[in-house]
Chains A and B, each alone.
Chain A
Amino acid sequence: MSANTPTVSKTAEPLPPPTERYSVVRWLHKNLFSTWYNALLTVVMLALAALLVRGVLEWALTQARWEVISANLRLFMVGQYPVTALWRIWACVALLAFLIGMSWGIWGRMQRGGAVAFGALPFILAIITSDEPSRVALVITGIAGIVGYALSWRWGAVVQRVSIIGWILYFPILFVLVSGLDAADSVLPPVPTNLWGGLLLTLLLTVVGIVFSFPLGVLLALGRQSKLPVINWLCVIYIELIRGVPFISVLFMAQLMLPLFLPGITIDRVVRAMAGVIIFSAAYLAENVRGGLQSIPRGQHEAARALGLSPWQTTLLIVLPQALRAVIPILVGQFIALFKDTSLVVIVGLLDLMGIARTVLAQPDFLGLQAEVYTFVAFVYGVFCYLMSAFSQRLEAHLHIGR
């Protein structure tokens, strides 16, 4: 064949893609020891990593006094929530496990490994714990989760409806259980909010922050795009004002100003903190959602309007679903930030997980155990942040089917 003639393939048979197979030795050579300086780098880094791991393990296994955690575990989890009412918290946890079990069975059937690990968790914790009531409660929680999961496999369609209603009802139920009813009630006596604390308070602040700031943020984003000047300006002013102020000052203002605006009504301190979280988070959320709204092409509006859909139908059925999907990663990032930012409520005198950590460190028995306490707190924060981000990835994968 001369050099100038183009080669024309005679057969149109598809060829398999080129495969690369490596043995362990060849993989090591290619990735870690390809040149002398890569080899040197590998050896040095391995040595450093070994030193670090050894140091951490030695401290964690021999020197650290983890009894500070086990002795104060209840304080870390629920603060000074009365022991006689603890069953209410456990009921919330078990109900949550039941809902997660059902939802997992309906929407997450592919992730069986994760389901097994998640389902086993309460039982593993039950074995570890030394507290008898907690063990019973953990076992009940585990069983609730498994029952929910099993139900969803048997009666998928019904369970789907039940679980959606369940999630909607969960938050009011949670509040009634945690805060209790009026004093006359003997089954659910009220628990004043100054006794709420620890992880319970952190999670409540986060959940309330997300559940309420999300719709508020969406409304603000839509309002900012409105053609009605009054609505548009109100939204712009709100968003820019709140974004121009640090979170701490919003918290302070919520503590000090809300009672001034609403004289005669005493608003609970925790509720004021929640209001601060919502007010702050909604402004940022609005801007993130607006980014999503702007990413929707004009043609989508036009097609919807040409079909005769009203402006509201166009927004709710066409624009918002696509816009929110586009910004899921940003929203989850913001929710994770919100979760961690709730630790600032220490400033206004609430004892969330971080606040409890500081009170524990002030106990005479446990002076100087910052490393243990903060490692534990970091671990708890880390677990929840990881769960949120893993959930968002699953959600994204689920919503991007066919795109």
Chain B
Amino acid sequence: MSANIPSTTDPIIICRDVHKWYGNYHALRGITMEVRRGEVVVVFGPSGSGKSTFIRTINRLEEHQRGQIIVDGIELTHDVRNIERIRMETGMVFQQFNLFPHLTVIDNITLAPIWVRRWTKAQAEEIAMQLLKRVGIPEQARKYPGQLSGGQQQRVAIARALAMQPKIMLFDEPTSALDPEMIKEVLDVMVELAESGMTMIVVTHEMGFARAVADTMYFFDQGRIVESGTPDQMFSDPREARTKLFLSQILSH
């Protein structure tokens, strides 16, 4: 559980009966979820269960075709202005980092604050340096992403998302592309972020992380939420057989 219990109880993200199809394939089959301010949500499940698709609908990288998604009081529709407002309030971290290889680390971080939030360069760089210190790599500011290790790149990606001062952070399997040695350095940053009170949705199989900081866990399978609950409930006493099987498989090694 995170250190500070969410103070307000009103939900910042509301998903009601969210459906998504790829052609004929029914990828999301009615997802309903509420996330409170400051809540840390962990989403896990087998591959193809729709967990990545789901997290990407929240900032409209994927379009949902039925149901309702409301983020910070704004409903996601085809209205481009709403989409851009929501994207300003949500940071996203990807499995493959997706840093901009032609820009230095600091330029990666300051790009969106300068062009979207219209901050001055000096202001943006000052905040970028603070964030780089927070993720532990201020000395890499002038390097290019290609010169960094995977763990360092992912920490830059987190700093880049935080530079927009989002209210919500979305993590799409942030450690899946990393060598085992580097997973910890990224998780440490995420734990620190969770403890600072950030609202987070994390798609991950890092059960240690889930046990340490998650408030709620959702188990996805075949485009549905099979089961949800606190980490204690999930690990000690899962209700569904499918959850039990999956947890036993990923916890066995």
Q: Does B144 contact A (CB under 8 A)?
A: yes
Q: In the bound complex, what is the Cα–Cα distance between A402 and B105 (angstroms)?
A: 11
The yes or no answer to B135 lying at the interface (CB within 8 A) is: no
Determine the chain A residues whose CB is within 8 A of the CB of B91 once the complex forms: 306-307
Q: Which one, B35-43, B70-78, B94-102, B191-199, is touching chain A?
A: B94-102
Cα–Cα, bound, A401→B146 (Å): 10
Q: CA of A174 to CA of B89 in the docked complex: distance in angstroms?
A: 50
Total of A-B residue pairs, C-beta within 8 Å: 65
Q: Which of B90, B111, B143, B147 gathers most chain A CB within 10 Å? A: B111
Would you call B161 and A307 a contact (CB within 8 A)?
A: yes
Contacting pair B102 A325 (CB below 8 A): yes
Give the CA-CA distance A310 to B84 in the complex, in Å. Answer: 8
Cβ proximity bits B114-153 to A, threshold 8 Å, 1 near / 0 not: 0110000000000000000000000000011011000000
Task: Give the contacting residue for A309; candidates B101, B115, B144, B146; CB below 8 A.
Answer: B115
The residue in chain B whose Cβ has the minimal distance to the Cβ of A298 is B98
Question: Which residue, of A307, A309, A401, has the highest number of chain B Cβ atoms within 10 A?
Answer: A307
The answer to whether B102 and A308 have CB atoms under 8 Å apart is: no
Closest residue of chain B to A300 (Cβ to Cβ) is B98
Interface residues on B, range: 20 to 34
A299 CA to B96 CA, complexed, in Å = 8
11 contacts across the A-B interface (CB closer than 8 A): A303-B99, A303-B100, A304-B100, A306-B59, A307-B87, A308-B87, A308-B112, A309-B111, A322-B102, A325-B102, A399-B102
Residues B87 and A305 in contact, CB atoms below 8 Å apart: yes
| Residues in chain B near residue A307, CB distance under 8 A | 87, 91, 111-112, 116, 160-161, 164
Interface size of A by CB at 8 A reads 22
Q: Which residues of A contact B96 (CB under 8 A)?
A: 297, 299
B106 at interface by CB-CB < 8 Å: no
- Which of A163-171, A184-192, A211-219, A313-321 is found at the contact surface with chain B? A313-321
Asked whether any CB of chain A lies closer than 8 Å to the CB of B61, the reply is: yes
A161 within 8 A of B: no
Confirm or deny: A58 has a beta carbon within 8 angstroms of a beta carbon on chain B.
no
A307-B161, A308-B87, A308-B164 are known contacts. Are A403 and B116 too (CB-CB below 8 A)? no
Give 18 new A-B contacts, CB below 8 A, not counting A297-B96, A299-B96, A402-B144: A299-B94, A299-B98, A302-B61, A303-B94, A303-B99, A304-B100, A305-B61, A306-B59, A306-B91, A307-B161, A308-B164, A309-B111, A309-B115, A309-B116, A399-B102, A402-B104, A402-B146, A403-B101
The answer to whether B200 has its CB under 8 Å from any CB of chain A is: no
Q: Would you call B88 an interface residue if the criterion is a C-beta within 8 Å of the partner chain's C-beta atoms?
A: yes
Q: Does B217 contact A (CB under 8 A)?
A: no
Q: Does B92 contact A (CB under 8 A)?
A: yes
List the B side residues contacting A402 at CB < 8 Å: 104, 143-144, 146-147
Bound-state CA distance A402–B107 (Å) is 14
- A16: min CB distance to chain B, Å: 25
Check B115–A306 contact: CB distance below 8 A: no
